């Protein structure tokens, strides 16, 4: 794994590489995206046919687009899909017509309050067509006839998603999920894809306790499809995290699972507070990203969501201003660091039983005090041993110890290792 500083630059380069691709909930743009991600981590790609019943939904027809434009009477493309995939309403049906501007206006989408930005709009489940453009561009268009062309197909095909698994020492799983359906939007969600990918690479070097399953899927319908196809093994999923909006300059935001007291919730609250980073922890709401699918009451998984500025919380959200310049290597590095810290705690947060529970065991004759000699945190490490012994009753995990004692989790975990090696506690 590259050092964190270079990892930030590499993540940003991945965002820039993925940015031009036209993604949607289905289609070749998703496949091209996964092909590139597959150069960084091996992926198992799944193709689910149109018409497949997935929970209460049905896999839709596959959408692909080759070209689209609006051209004036002289043949000049005043709106051009080749310049940005945002210029076309997502899932637009094909059209080849000439019409006056007055008629065309009904199919044009702008942001009057941000006149130089192009909005992102879709019409996944209703046959429609349209273009997105800057209000400034629209205001400059003279009346007259315009050639309108959308060279797209909407036909039976497949929904595509992919998985990458980092094997752990136990089959219990942590899922890390990000959506791959947004077109040229850097923070939402190319930064999430990049952070997830580099997190997977980092975990592969650490021999983790849990098995980590990374899910790269289209938003909503992709997560629903994954859940439908994995319902029989869902009990293996013990924890999860949805990554989105991972690269802007805002403070970190953790949205708790529906349970609110899931272990992942406690871990993220602890890690963010202990790090002294500016951050927010918010309650669960059934709106947002795919945490709402994983947390739906039938599954009720302990899955939270980590972002920087949450969805719709920044003016650039779902506009052309969410470009690679809007995200930074430093912000993605910080998001990645928090993920690694959180999963480090999650992986190590296990329960122990004190094998010498009647009175305080003699630590000195076991060399445990001597091992602390010369350490600047010797007193803290000694207290951590005493706290671990006190709370190793089979009911409390190491995170409980850290929270109750106010000691750093890493110090508590090191104390548990020393006590375990000395035969005083067991898992």
Question: What does the domain layout of the chain look like in residue ranges?
Answer: 4-60+158-348, 65-155, 351-426
Please state which CATH number belongs to domain 351-426.
1.10.10.10
* 87 marked among binding-site residues: no
CA dihedral 17, 18, 19, 24 (to 10 degrees): 160
Contact 195, 4 (CB under 8 A): no
> Among all chains, which residue has been given the structure tokens 């190793």?
392
Residue with more model confidence, 174 or 5: 174
Q: Residue 318, annotated ligand binder?
A: yes
Integer angstrom CA distances of residue 319 from 15, 22, 24, 228:
16, 14, 15, 32
Distance CA 342, CA 335 (A): 11
What pLDDT is attached to residue 376?
Answer: 59
- Is 255 in contact with 262 (CB distance < 8 Å)? no
Nearest to 247 by CA among 374, 312, 320, 333: 333
pLDDT tens for each residue of 191-220: 999 999 999 999 999 999 999 999 999 999
Report the candidate in 405, 259, 254, 418 with the shortest Cα–Cα distance to residue 342. 254
Q: Grade residue 253 by pLDDT with cuts at 50, 70 and 90.
A: very high
Q: Radius of gyration (Cα) for the chain, nearest Å?
A: 25
239 marked ligand binding residue: no
What average pLDDT does range 37-57 have in this prediction?
98
Predicted TM-score (pTM) of the model is 0.95
Distance CA 263, CA 399 (A): 9
**Averaged pLDDT, 68-93:** 97
pLDDT score of 5? 63
CATH topology of domain 65-155: Glucose Oxidase; domain 1 (3.50.30)
Of the given ranges (3-7, 296-300, 346-350, 415-419), which has the lowest mean pLDDT?
Answer: 3-7
If you search the block for the tokens 């629903």, which residue do you land on?
Answer: 224
- Cα–Cα distance between 26 and 24 in angstroms, integer? 5
**Predicted local distance difference test score (pLDDT) of residue 322:** 98
pLDDT tens across 8-21, in order? 999 999 999 999 99
Whether 134 and 113 have beta carbons less than 8 Å apart is answered as no
Class of domain 4-60+158-348: alpha beta
Instruction: Assign 102 a pLDDT band (cuts: 50, 70, 90).
Output: very high
Q: Rounded mean pLDDT of 158-175? A: 98
- Say yes or no to pLDDT of 383 above 80: yes
Phi-psi region of 276 (alpha: psi -120 to 50; beta: other; left: phi over 0): left
The DSSP code sequence of 364-375 is: GGGTTTGGGTT-
HSE of 207 in the Cβ direction (CA atoms, 13 Å)? 0
* CA 248 from centroid of its chain's CA atoms: 14
Dihedral sign, CA of 20, 221, 211, 208? Answer: positive
């Amino acid at each position: 794994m590259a050092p964190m500083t270079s990892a930030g630059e590499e993540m940003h380069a991945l965002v820039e590489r993925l940015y031009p691709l036209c993604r949607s909930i289905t289609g070749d743009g998703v496949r091209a995206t996964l092909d590139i991600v597959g150069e960084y981590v091996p992926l198992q790609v799944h193709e689910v046919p149109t018409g497949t019943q997935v929970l209460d939904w049905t896999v839709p027809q596959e959408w692909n687009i080759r070209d689209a434009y609006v051209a004036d009477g002289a043949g000049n493309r005043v709106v051009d899909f080749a310049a940005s995939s945002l210029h076309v309403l997502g899932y637009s049906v094909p059209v080849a017509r000439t019409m006056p501007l007055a008629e065309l206006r009904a199919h044009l989408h702008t942001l009057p309050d941000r006149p130089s930005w192009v909005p992102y709009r879709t019409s996944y489940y209703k046959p429609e067509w349209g273009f997105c453009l800057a209000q400034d561009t629209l205001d400059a268009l003279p009346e007259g006839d315009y050639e309108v062309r959308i060279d797209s197909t909407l036909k039976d095909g497949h929904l595509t998603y992919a998985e990458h698994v980092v094997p752990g020492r136990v089959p219990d799983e942590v899922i890390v999920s990000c959506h791959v359906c947004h077109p040229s939007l850097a923070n939402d969600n190319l930064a999430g894809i990049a952070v997830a990918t580099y997190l997977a690479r980092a975990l592969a070097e650490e021999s983790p306790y849990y098995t980590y399953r990374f899910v790269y899927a289209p938003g909503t319908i992709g997560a629903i499809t994954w859940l439908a196809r994995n319902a029989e093994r869902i009990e293996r999923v013990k924890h999860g995290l949805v990554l989105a909006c991972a690269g802007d300059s805002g403070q970190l935001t953790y949205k708790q699972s529906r349970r609110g007291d899931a272990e992942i919730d406690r871990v993220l609250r602890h890690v963010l507070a202990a790090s002294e980073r500016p951050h927010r922890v918010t309650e669960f709401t059934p709106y947002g990203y795919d945490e709402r699918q994983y947390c739906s009451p039938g599954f009720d998984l302990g899955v939270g969501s980590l972002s920087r500025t949450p969805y719709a919380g920044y003016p650039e959200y779902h506009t052309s201003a969410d470009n690679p310049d809007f995200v930074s290597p430093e912000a993605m590095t910080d998001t990645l660091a928090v993920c690694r810290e959180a999963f480090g705690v999650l992986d190590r947060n296990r329960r122990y039983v004190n094998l010498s529970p009647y009175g305080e065991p003699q630590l000195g004759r076991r060399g445990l005090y001597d091992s602390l000699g010369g350490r600047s945190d010797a007193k803290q490490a000694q207290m951590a041993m005493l706290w671990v012994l006190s709370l190793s009753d089979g009911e409390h995990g190491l995170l409980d110890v850290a929270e109750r004692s106010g000691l750093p989790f890493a110090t508590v975990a090191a104390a548990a290792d020393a006590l375990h090696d000395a035969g005083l506690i067991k898992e």
